[in-house]
Amino acid sequence: MTELTHGRVLRIAGPIVLSNATVPLLGAVDTAVIGQLGLAAPLGAVGLGAVILATLYWMFGFLRMSTSGLAAQAQGAGDMPERSAVLLRALGVAAVARLGLVVLQGVLFAGAFRLAPASAEVESLAQQYLSVRIWGAPATIAIYAVTGWLVALERTRGILVLQLVQNGVNIALSVGFVMGFGWGVPGVALATLIAEWAGLGLALWLCRDAFGPVLRPALGRLRDARALRLMFTASRDIMGRTVILQLAFTTFVFLGARFGDVTLAANQVLMQFLYVTAYALDGFAFAAEALIGQAVGARSQAATRRAGVICLQWGFAGALALMLVFALTGPLLIDVMTTAPDVRAQARAFLPWLVAAPLIGVAAWIFDGIFIGAMMTGAMLRTMMVSVAAYAVALAVLTPIFGNHGLWAALMVMNATRSLTMARVWPSVIRSASGPDQPERG
């Protein structure tokens, strides 16, 4: 293992923090562009459509996570052919998954709209958005696998370049299509579609060495029974965890729609704050995936312990910084994202929940990375099940009494429960790095 220091963690996490922050910022720009129309329905439609696609896509988020953990452990063990084989297996799974989404789009969208009691106008606009965006599914799912592989190898600068190029194309086209050509909701969707395919081309180029001299031995390992079994088990657990988590967020959006188009739009604006928090702090979780995975692959309990502690320390520091930013600039950011007076007023009323969110959820986000690196995916799934059960109870108790405030409170209950339950399993992660401890350095 290379020396584990704060500097190394920051070198890995820094580009990830920046690149991940651009993802929700892209959503914020789309929201702001549509918000300039001054109407609640288009804003709610983009939010609803984006959540439906996020739910579908992130069911396949296991590709990024399992690829990251497995490739990091192969890297730590010095097994380069297996490192490439991990990526090839993931791309094969992605090919099947993305085809399924395109073929089943009609059934999936119809089911989603049955669960979403939005107005007819919002649903019609959301259907226009989805009918364009779904053709980006093949590119988006494949990028998950490539990103996980780059994280495992600590090539986070490449991920930053990928996000900047993809999101830059998206933002430029969104502004041009909506504010220049007046294409409205379909224009935002088309801009994202084009950017997704451009991103896939760049992503494959960034991992080109996986297809170099090690390709032949890597191909020979594609059908390795043990590796396939480990990938299947990890993917099953991570997919189950991701499905449960996405259902929780989808339930949040759908229940918010019951309070009317204005509240739905306000929640969409505020969700951008939560996305910024999650994606920014996930930079340290991604660092944990790489470093914990390499430490477990190198069979070093000491390195596993140190990597986890450093990543948690930086995660909490980032959470405190985000709380301060949201407290000071929250109202201004809301005004930037929408010009509708009623939506602005509603969003301000619920802003305090978003100020508290970073500190409540930070431990859960960092522990996600730790568990993925150690490939303790079964524990991830079990703690998520407990947390969503607590969320369901909070929804049933708080929402009827406090309305949308109860909805936000229930979401905070879920994140707090995740943090506590995963912290209890942390000692088992250290023990999973079997083998003689190495002296801690740095």
Three-state secondary structure readout of the chain: CCCCCHHHHHHHHHHHHHHHHHHHHHHHHHHHHHHCCCCHHHHHHHHHHHHHHHHHHHHHCHHHHHHHHHHHHHHHHCCHHHHHHHHHHHHHHHHHHHHHHHHCHHHHHHHHHHHCCCCHHHHHHHHHHHHHHHHHHHHHHHHHHHHHHHHHCCCHHHHHHHHHHHHHHHHHHHHHHHHHCCCHHHHHHHHHHHHHHHHHHHHHHHCHHHHCCCHHHHHHCCCCHHHHHHHHHHHHHHHHHHHHHHHHHHHHHHHHHCCCHHHHHHHHHHHHHHHHHHHHHHHHHHHHHHHHHHHHHCCCHHHHHHHHHHHHHHHHHHHHHHHHHHHHHHHHHHHHHCCCHHHHHHHHHHHHHHHHHHHHHHHHHHHHHHHHHHCCHHHHHHHHHHHHHHHHHHHHHHHHHHCHHHHHHHHHHHHHHHHHHHHHHHHHHHHHCCCCCCCCCC
Higher pLDDT: 50 or 159? It is 159
pLDDT of res. 116: 63
Q: How confident is the model at residue 340 (pLDDT cuts 50, 70, 90)?
A: confident
Cα 286 from Cα 318, distance rounded (Å): 14
Each residue's pLDDT tens digit, 80-98 = 999 999 999 998 888 887 7
Contact call for residues 141 and 135 (beta carbons, < 8 A): no
Domain spans of the chain, in order of start: 6-432
Q: How confident is the model at residue 78 (pLDDT cuts 50, 70, 90)?
A: confident
Q: How confident is the model at residue 441 (pLDDT cuts 50, 70, 90)?
A: very low
- Identity of the highest mean pLDDT range in 109-113, 252-256, 338-342, 362-366: 362-366
Residue 442 pLDDT more than 60? no
Cα 307 from Cα 370, distance rounded (Å): 9
pLDDT of res. 26: 62
pLDDT of res. 27: 64
Cα 23 from Cα 163, distance rounded (Å): 8
- Radius of gyration of the CA atoms of the chain, in A: 21
Average pLDDT of the chain is 86
Q: How confident is the model at residue 320 (pLDDT cuts 50, 70, 90)?
A: very high
Phi-psi sector, 154: left (phi>0), alpha (psi -120 to 50), beta = left
pLDDT of res. 304: 92
* pTM of the predicted structure, to 2 decimals: 0.79
Each residue's pLDDT tens digit, 382-426 = 999 999 999 999 999 999 999 899 999 999 999 999 999 999 999
Contact call for residues 149 and 63 (beta carbons, < 8 A): no
Cα 347 from Cα 332, distance rounded (Å): 11
Each residue's pLDDT tens digit, 209-254 = 888 888 889 988 888 888 889 899 998 999 889 889 878 988 888 8
Each residue's pLDDT tens digit, 140-175 = 888 999 999 999 999 999 999 998 898 889 888 988
Residue 119, Cβ neighbours under 10 Å: how many?
A: 16
pLDDT of res. 437: 44
Q: How confident is the model at residue 440 (pLDDT cuts 50, 70, 90)?
A: very low
pLDDT of res. 138: 82
pLDDT of res. 23: 65
- The answer for residues whose C-beta is within 8 angstroms of residue 98's C-beta and 6 or more apart is 137, 138, 140, 141, 142
pLDDT of res. 24: 59
Q: How confident is the model at residue 258 (pLDDT cuts 50, 70, 90)?
A: confident
pLDDT of res. 181: 85
Residue 208 pLDDT more than 60? yes
